[in-house]
Amino acid sequence: MGVGATLLAGSLVLSACGGGIGEQTEGDSEAVITVSSGEPQNPLIPSDTNEVYGGLVVRNIFSGLVYYDVNGAVQNEIAASIESDDNVTWTITIEDGWTFTDGTDVTAQSFVDAWNWGAYGPNAANLTYFYEPIEGYDEVQVPVDEDGEPTGEDPEAETMSGLEVVSDTEFTVTLKQPESDFPVRLGYTAFFPLPEVFFEDPEAFGEAPVSNGPYTLTEWDHDTAITVEPNPDYAGDRVPQNGGVEFLAYTDEDSAYNDLLANNLDIVTNVPASAFATFEEDLGDRAVNQPAAVTQVINVPEYVEDFQGEAGLLRRQAISMAIDREGITETVYDGARTPASDFTNPVINGWSDDIPGSEVLEYNPEEAGSLWEQAEEMDPLGDDYTLFIASNADSDHQSWIDPACNTIREALGIECEFDAYPVFDEFLEARDNREIKGLFRGGWQADYPAMSNFLGPIYGTGAGSNDMDYSSEEFDAKLTEGNAAETPEEATEIYKEAQEILFQDMPGIPLWYYNTTAGYSEAVDNVEFGWDSDPILYQVTKSE
């Protein structure tokens, strides 16, 4: 974003996905849309929701300063303007007339209080990392000793000094350094406002949120469905064209797809691998197959001894080169995935497929076997070693883990098995509790349309989605340098250098980039999927 500009909406927008929705089809405005989903991991608190099931709900019941349209372009929503003369101090003015569903006003204080709560260390919000650029963030964190363990002392402060309320409709944000793309991030859930009632009982609020978005939550039947209905007091442009949405918690993607084919389900957000070869024929013009800002990796936990030290790095490289990405994407996904060549995503502007070190992502079983043998000479694991790759069994991940294990066995001469957790939230709990015994499946759906979003939140020290506990001072410094770049073009080159460090350390093993592979029933129209693979639900119409 240029100095003094009101909002960055051009230089970092995406290069793929669809256009506008066109002329709407007449439908029953009272009909409820059904969508395949799953059980959220946590209560529905914006700054504590960092997984896909909860995120889709939160993004539909809350509104922020800006939102991202179908192409990833930034559009003002509650914000009237976001301005800065130096990219350090930002003045944010909001539109008057916005309310929460309890009738209270959305004010500048609603944003400042929400961000302070999310950043405050003892609250342990999952998205705390997103407030790190704000002045005073360090002072609200829990003190740790030289080993990184909490000292038991309270933070120095309860609120960030970089946030200041000027009036009901204006507040300022002071950052630690210039960051030109700061406004682009403000459509992410971490930056949504919260009403005063939230702070009285955050846990209870998370079960029945008081929100301000296009929809409002009416019922959460855990492990079964979440139901939302249009918010009659919503003040923005994303006015629902239907009678609400029911997010159904499927535990099997094939079942969801079969329900779609039978017109018993309106929207499937992820076609199972078993249907990739046929779904476009099955659904015709109701099939969706388009690039998305979603990347899949195998993550390497730093706490697993097998992958520590020099021998551990050789094993990471060996495993990566033992996986036949091209073969898997063709045979399992029928070309609906693209082998990865970096840690970001080609849908994002600035992407490059020639990062130094990326050759470790190329299928090379001979070199992989040699690297594994070198590691065994340094630190033997033994002939009976088994590599485990963990994921949830209620999705279709076994369909790629099994063939990946096959090529790993052939190249490295070791056993490899799918470490299956029955449902998604059990897998996430094991991951978050550092109970994974080997490697684990990781996926990243972009929070906002910028290259930095594929790097900092995942690999930055202490970041909310750094589930591997990776830490590199050199990488962190490069992120800071990239964030402070004066132009997106300069930042892009620095982020490429940051990726070189990741290829040297291999905290994750990139696998492939996703296409949004989805579909919808004959009962709905005006269905589009956005840059981030999410369905644009408010515009969907339905005829019974």
pLDDT tens track for 225-234:
999 999 999 9
Task: Provide mean pLDDT across the span 524-535.
Answer: 95
- Residue 111 in domain: yes
pLDDT of 157 strictly over 80: yes
Residues 348, 292 contacting (CB under 8 angstroms) = no
370: CATH: 3.10.105.10
- Residue 300 in domain: yes
Which of the pair, 147 or 2, is modelled with greater confidence?
A: 147
Q: What single letter denotes the amino acid at residue 544?
A: E
Confidence of residue 27 (pLDDT cuts 50, 70, 90): low
Lowest mean pLDDT among 3-17, 44-58, 474-488: 3-17
- Residue 246 in domain: yes
- Residue 194 in domain: yes
Q: Are residues 474 and 358 in the same domain?
A: yes
Confidence of residue 268 (pLDDT cuts 50, 70, 90): very high
What average pLDDT is seen over the chain?
A: 92
Residues 293, 345 contacting (CB under 8 angstroms) = yes
**Which tokens go with 471?**
């830490």
Confidence of residue 30 (pLDDT cuts 50, 70, 90): confident
Residues 464, 130 contacting (CB under 8 angstroms) = yes
Lowest mean pLDDT among 24-28, 133-137, 294-298, 400-404: 24-28
**pLDDT attached to residue 395:** 84
pLDDT, tens digit, 9 for 90 and up, residues 171-211: 999 999 888 889 999 999 999 999 999 999 999 999 999 99
Q: Are residues 352 and 212 in the same domain?
A: no
Q: Which residues contact 173 (CB under 8 A, 6 or more apart)?
A: 89, 90, 92, 134, 162, 163, 182
Query: Is residue 180 exposed (0-12), middle (13-18) or buried (19+ Cβ within 10 Å)?
Result: buried
Residues 242, 29 contacting (CB under 8 angstroms) = yes
Task: Provide mean pLDDT across the span 13-32.
Answer: 48
The packing angle between helices 309-322 and 398-412, to 10°, is: 110
- Residue 57 in domain: yes
pLDDT of 6 strictly over 70: no
Q: Are residues 391 and 359 in the same domain?
A: yes
Q: Are residues 340 and 238 in the same domain?
A: no
Task: Name the domain count of the chain.
Answer: 2
- Residue 370 in domain: yes
Q: Are residues 49 and 189 in the same domain?
A: yes
Q: Are residues 373 and 236 in the same domain?
A: no
- Residue 166 in domain: yes
pLDDT of 2 strictly over 50: no
Q: Are residues 470 and 536 in the same domain?
A: no
133: CATH: 3.40.190.10
- Residue 228 in domain: yes
Q: Are residues 396 and 506 in the same domain?
A: yes
* Nearest residue to 131 via CA among 150, 117, 148: 117
Q: Are residues 98 and 173 in the same domain?
A: yes
Query: Which domain covers residue 501, as residue numbers?
Result: 292-515
* Nearest residue to 296 via CA among 372, 193, 391: 391
Apex CA 429: angle with CA 425 and CA 434, to 5°? 150
| Alpha-carbon span 381 to 383, nearest angstrom | 7
Locate all alpha helices (DSSP H) within 413-512, ordered by sequence: 424-432, 456-459, 473-483, 488-505
Q: Are residues 435 and 379 in the same domain?
A: yes
pLDDT, tens digit, 9 for 90 and up, residues 308-339: 999 999 999 999 999 999 999 999 998 889 99
CA 312 to chain centre: 28
pLDDT of 280 strictly over 80: yes
Q: Are residues 534 and 496 in the same domain?
A: no
Residues 77, 236 contacting (CB under 8 angstroms) = yes
pLDDT of 7 strictly over 50: no
Q: Are residues 529 and 406 in the same domain?
A: no
Q: Which residues contact 510 (CB under 8 A, 6 or more apart)?
A: 295, 296, 297, 340, 341, 342, 343, 361
Q: What single letter denotes the amino acid at residue 420?
A: A
pLDDT of 443 strictly over 80: yes
**pLDDT attached to residue 28:** 63
**pLDDT attached to residue 540:** 97
